[in-house]
Structures are given as structure tokens and as C-alpha cells.
Amino acid sequence: MVRATFKVGALYAALLASPYNRPPLPHTTMSKPLNLSPKPTVAVIGGGPAGLMAAEVLSQAGIQVDVYDAMPSVGRKFLMAGKGGMNITHSEPFANFLSRYGSRQKHIEPLLNSFSPDALREWIHGLGIDTFVGTSGRVFPTDMKAAPLLRAWLHRLRENGVRFHMRHRWVGWDEARALRFEVQNSPPPLPPAGDGENVKIIKVDAVILALGGGSWPQLGSDGAWVPLLSQHGATVAPLRASNCGFDITWSTHFRERFVGEPLKSVAASFGDVRKQGECVITAHGIEGGLIYALSAPLRDEIARNDSATLSLDLLPDWSAQRVLNEVSHPRGSRSLSSHLQSRLGLKGVKSNLLREALSAEQMNDATLLAHTIKHLPLRLTATRPIAETISTAGGVTFESLDEKLMIKKSPGIFCAGEMLDWEAPTGGYLLTACFASGRVAGSGALDWLRNRS
């Protein structure tokens, strides 16, 4: 998979090396303090947006919160997501926003009603970070960066008394329902899960699990929690690739010449859905924003029939008739490649994609060539491995949770974030639902502690 090299550890070290000496930031108190004696303790396992939001809700109410994460620092995937510009949410109408969650819309709606995209923007402003709406409707911090937002947030959480425990890999519960962690005091790689002298036992009053899905395991989301939750009363749908690239069998010539080449100003269609944008050729096939937008139905079609055919329009702003007219124009002594470049502007990767789809004889059939320019078939044979994907579908099903995201069969254990069984396209929808689910889980744990007192 083609990616820019990015050293999260170096970025985080720089983040921590710059002391945050601003005065306390203004923010809205989410919950009234819970005056219980002794003070309840809650473990938040997972230091991504969902876990940190749950920690904020609870700590603002006076709960002692301890955040545990297997990595050397929190928010690593959050920082990675912000490398190319921190797309935090989207400004489109709420009904349109909700529709992005597909079959899980009815389960995500209560979460977003609790913490909407607009509320998320206001929350960010409360951290002293301004935002703006891009031409696509996507919402970004003014400086486009994730690190200042995370730095301000961690400062506020620490002021609220949240304690952070890094290199603590959660490995389940003991017989008394206490949490078990394997602790690594030296730098990664972490040891494999199992019993040993480095196991720490922690007893708490409630647990928020925000362990992510299975994508980008090098940043902490490895899906190792699946069997642990399955054994503890939660129904877990298998993790599947989402917002992913796909495998295509390219010819050797095409693969050697065009790996890494962008496909710009194209449209992709599958079923009744058509999207326009950009993607990129990879050694294995194809990926990029345009492909991610169609990845869920393509993935499901491959699961049913072992392959899926994506239709690519190489000239989406041209009518089919105009393409046919230009292709049919007499070319005299010019080669077909020169003719396509001169009359239609097709060259490089686009013109060679046509040669992947058509034989030399078929390329000389003007009607077939014009049709293929507008409807070039790409046979996708598999999704890329989950470890390479932007996100995952599957996870803890909403049916096994109550409305506050507590596991019905395990009172006091709440789940949030990407480990829940939902998916959404890129564009701010993933992060928004993670933040919202963290807030709901944190509020749910607070209510549960209150009702136990």
C-alpha cells in the first residue's frame, strides 16, 4: 500500500517537548459533579478520541479516571489521521450526515443527537482551536493540524485529574472481574499477550472500552479484544475492511510503469452509486478517496461473488456522444495514442488503462473504445488486508448493548468508538461518531455509578 512515511513517535515527542503553559481553557461542564464517597474509579482502555471523550465526561463529574493504552502515547491514530489535514467533521445538513452511516443509521442517530457535528465544532473552539469549512463542506482546524488540538485536550484532561498509563496492554479480566494488564516498561515492540511477571491487576468501579477496530495495528488498533469481549457477554460481528483499497490483476507492463500514478478527474460507479474524484494505482490494484467512498458495497459484492466490477469514467465531464464523435474523427497517419491525446486529452495512465481492458483489435473499434472510455470495467478480486485499511466494519453489535452503550450481560462495562459495529466513509464521519459514542459511554457510566450509590 502506498503511504508517506510518518513517524508518529517523533511527532508525539515534539508535542510533549513543548510545554503547554496557557491558562486553563474555557469549556462547558458536561455533567454535575457526582459526590460519592469513596470517589468512584473508572478505567478507560484506549486513548483515542472515543476514550478521551469518555474520560472528559467522567472527570468533569469528579470521577477518578485512569486511561490505559498499549502504545507509548495516546492519540496515535488521531495524529496519523491529521497528517494530511485534520478533517474533524462535515458541515452538510444533519439528515444527509446521518445517511452516511448506512444500515447503522438508527443506532448512530441517538449518539449524534447527544453530540452533533455542530456541538463537536463548539467543543473544539472551547479548546482554543478555531475551525473552518472547506469548499467540500468538510470541517478542519484552522491550522489543519491534529497535534495542537490533542495537546490542548490532554492539558485539560490532566487538569481534571485524569491519569495516563502507557504501555499497558489489556489482556482481559481475572476471576474477580479485575482488569488484567501486561505492562511494558521498555520501548516497543510490546510482548505477546499472556501471563507473566509484568501482569498488573486493577480493580475499578466501571470500565470504558475504546480499543478501536483492526486497522493500523502498528498504532494500537489490532482487534485483539474480539475474543475477550465475545467471552464476556458481547456479540461481536467479524471485523471487515472498510474505506479500503482493492486488488486488481494488472499486466506486468502496467504495474511496472504506473504504480503510484494518480487518476484524477474520473468518476466511479457501482450499482446505483456514482462518485467523482481521484484515486491512485497501486502494485496490488487501486485505492484512494474515490474508491473508499464505494468500498462497502464493493466489499460486500466480493464476499457474495468472489469479485466485483467497478465502472470507471475516464472523462466524466464529457457526454458519451462527444466522446464517440472525437474517437471517430479521422486520424490520418497519427497513431491511436496520439489521436486519443490530441482529440480527448487521454494519455499516460488513462490511455494505458484502456489497453488493460481492450485488445489491440478492440482498440480500433471506435464504438467499443468510446463506450469503454465512459464505462471502463475494473474487476476487483479482494479487499486489501484489514491492517492496511482506513477503518473497519464489524465489532460489538448494538443489539448486545443498552442505549448507554453498556454490555447488557456485563453491567458496568461500556464500549465506544470504532470497536462498535458500524462504518462510515471518510470526510469527518468516522471521527464525529467516535467522539459522540465516547460521550454517550462516559455519560452512561456516570449514570450507572449514580444509580449504584
For the chain, which residues make up each domain, given as ranges?
39-241+389-452, 246-383
Mean pLDDT for 393-402 is: 97
CATH superfamily of 39-241+389-452: FAD/NAD(P)-binding domain (3.50.50.60)
Mean pLDDT for 350-379 is: 97
Q: How far is CA 375 from CA 132, 299, 363, 369, in A?
A: 37, 20, 14, 10
Q: 97 — phi, psi (to 5°)?
A: -60, -45
Using 50, 70 and 90 to split pLDDT, how confident is the model at 278?
A: very high
DSSP 3-state assignment of 352?
A: helix
Mean pLDDT for 218-222 is: 89
Q: How far apart are CA 131 and CA 384, in angstroms?
A: 33
Beta-carbon contacts of residue 347 (< 8 Å; ≥ 6 apart): 337, 340, 341
Give 332-363 pLDDT, tens digit per residue: 899 999 999 999 999 999 999 999 999 999 99
Bridge partner list, 281: 286
User: Which of 266, 441, 244 has its CA nearest to residue 349?
Assistant: 266
CA atoms within 13 A on the CB side of 225: 33
> How buried is 73 (Cβ within 10 angstroms: 0-12 exposed, 13-18 middle, 19+ buried)?
buried
Mean pLDDT for 50-74 is: 97
Mean pLDDT for 173-177 is: 92
Indicate the average pLDDT of the chain: 90
Q: What is the pLDDT of residue 105?
A: 97
Q: Are 352 and 250 in contact (CB under 8 A)?
A: no
Which element (helix H / strand E) includes 364? none
User: Which of 127, 155, 160 has its CA nearest to residue 61?
Assistant: 160
Give 412-439 pLDDT, tens digit per residue: 999 999 999 999 999 999 999 999 999 9
For residue 192, the tally of other CB atoms under 10 A from its CB is 10
Residue with cell 469514467: 313
pLDDT higher than threshold 70 for residue 117: yes
User: Which of 321, 318, 367, 365 has its CA nearest to residue 346?
Assistant: 318
For residue 252, the tally of other CB atoms under 10 A from its CB is 7
Mean pLDDT for 108-119 is: 97
Mean pLDDT for 125-136 is: 96
Which element (helix H / strand E) includes 236? strand 236-242
Share of the chain above pLDDT 90, in %: 83
Q: How far apart are CA 346 and CA 355, in angstroms?
A: 12
DSSP 3-state assignment of 76?
A: helix
Using 50, 70 and 90 to split pLDDT, how confident is the model at 220?
A: confident
User: Which of 400, 411, 343, 330 has its CA nearest to residue 373?
Assistant: 343
Mean pLDDT for 63-79 is: 95
Q: How far is CA 364 from CA 288, 331, 359, 378, in A?
A: 31, 11, 9, 20
